Chains A and B, each alone.
Chain A
């Protein structure tokens, strides 16, 4: 009874329904849909820009603290406006035309990269009812769309007419092709447990306990495997050999400057945000508060008072922090080490793990 009240307070379904019916009363169905698309697009764009700017700042601060430094501290309190200053600078930087570059593909590449991450963000449930599209194959959709970004990277490398860019792009291609397997298998482990690919159903299934607790050992292993392989998939951390500064100057975005470079930069950080929110949604319960079984009803009730959006953001940033921790601790892998790690270690572990999870679900040994 009381629980229901708290939930309805934080439920966005009524609000979105109200806006929807209001728009349909005011105009024809066609224009209502167009207006809704516009509103959602603008909202996601604002969210995207804000999170991107904050992540760059967070990355620099976390990196600094892990190396016993202070990090940005000059622009604004604690250097909070540093990334805004950087963005303004990037907007004024000249866009250098490249001789003998494939002009069309060169200009297209940053947009493909950014659109891929933009599309993935639409399927992520931020809170109950705050969910742009709830596809019944949500997990599959997010994986497919976020893997599309590599086309942009390959195009950027190819069209730049620069050997460093091309090598960086090829490395990135090899990386995505192999690590996409591990990401998929790690997610399939959870899909077996949830019995659905719809993200809202997956979140709802974690009402009486997050999957990382429910599926105990195999779910935990899947979480670790997902973290490793998604870090590789976003070209980050110890797997950033696509832009290895010491050997390839900047990899695939060597020839880009100004706002086009900013697009690549922003897309990289947003991809990290997207994989972190997928990890949070699938393993850590998404916007679902920390619930245990029926035996801890009081505790569950207290947790319900924290808004779901806060839960979602906290979990996502926890995963992002883990990924930053990886990045600033481990040295960069060579390309052969990278492929060895995937094909000799992660993939066999993942395959066995999927079998174990299927067996556990079959026998009903999960919580």
Chain B
């Protein structure tokens, strides 16, 4: 008798768990508002990427064309596949001192694996991830980018 009760209990529990699963998919079926698919090429103009999306490495500049990169080279050392190359130069500041600054911060997008070691390890937060993801080009050379804009300077107060 006990085994029969156990058997029926098993069947009822099984059916109940199946119904629970069906409730989830049934709810999805009747709520089209929850659809997460983006109609990408159609909504290209209004597409908003996620904040944490890793599209490419960029160097943010402020409106006075100043960046925060001191040229220390930590990103270059950290990069596991050598996509970053920092070329520095010596400049003379206004008060006559000689100082190291970046000439070119070269970033090879074609080699980058988006591991974020450069962005995380930058002591002055000069690097960040941009949300641009349409990188296709016809010439590989176009994937080698210079991150600091021409004529840009180190932001005041960043050492």
A-to-B contact residues, CB < 8 Å: 62, 65-70, 73, 325-326, 328-330, 345, 349
B22 touches A70 (CB 8 A): no
Q: Are B21 and A330 in contact (CB under 8 A)?
A: yes
Given contacts A68-B34, A345-B11, contact A325 B25 (CB under 8 A): yes
Task: Name the residue on B nearest A224 (C-beta).
Answer: B15
Chain A residues near B24 (CB-CB < 8 A): 329
B25 touches A69 (CB 8 A): no
Q: How far is the CB of A186 from chain B (nearest CB, A)?
A: 16
Seen from chain B, the residues whose Cβ lies within 8 Å of a Cβ on chain A are: 11, 18, 21-22, 24-26, 28-29, 32, 34-37, 39
Decide: A68 near B28, CB < 8 A? Known: A329-B21, A330-B21, A345-B11.
Answer: yes
Q: What's the dominant secondary structure at chain B's contact region?
A: helix
Could you say which residues of chain A place their CB within 8 Å of the CB of B36?
68-69
C-alpha spacing A329/B24, complex, angstroms: 8
Which single residue of chain A is at the shortest CB-CB distance from B15? A224
- Contact A70-B25, Cβ < 8 Å, known A330-B18, A345-B11: no
Partner pick for B29 among A65, A70, A326, A330, CB 8 A cutoff:
A65
B39 engages A68 (CB within 8 Å): no
Q: A329-B22, A345-B11 known; A66 and B29 CB under 8 Å?
A: yes
| Besides A67-B25, A345-B11, 4 other A-B contacts (C-beta < 8 A) | A62-B29, A67-B28, A70-B37, A349-B11
B18 CB contacts on chain A under 8 angstroms: 329-330
The chain B residue with its CB closest to the CB of A327 is B25
When chains A and B are docked, how far (Å) is the Cα of A345 from the Cα of B7? 9
Specify which chain A residues have a CB less than 8 angstroms from the CB of B35 in the assembled complex.
65, 68-70
Q: How far is the CA of A345 from the CA of B26 in the complex (A)?
A: 25
What residues of chain B lie closer than 8 Å to A325, measured between beta carbons? 22, 25-26, 29
Partner of A66, one of B11, B25, B37: B25
Residues of A contacting B11 with CB < 8 Å?
345, 349
Q: Shortest Cβ distance from A98 into chain B, in angstroms?
A: 38
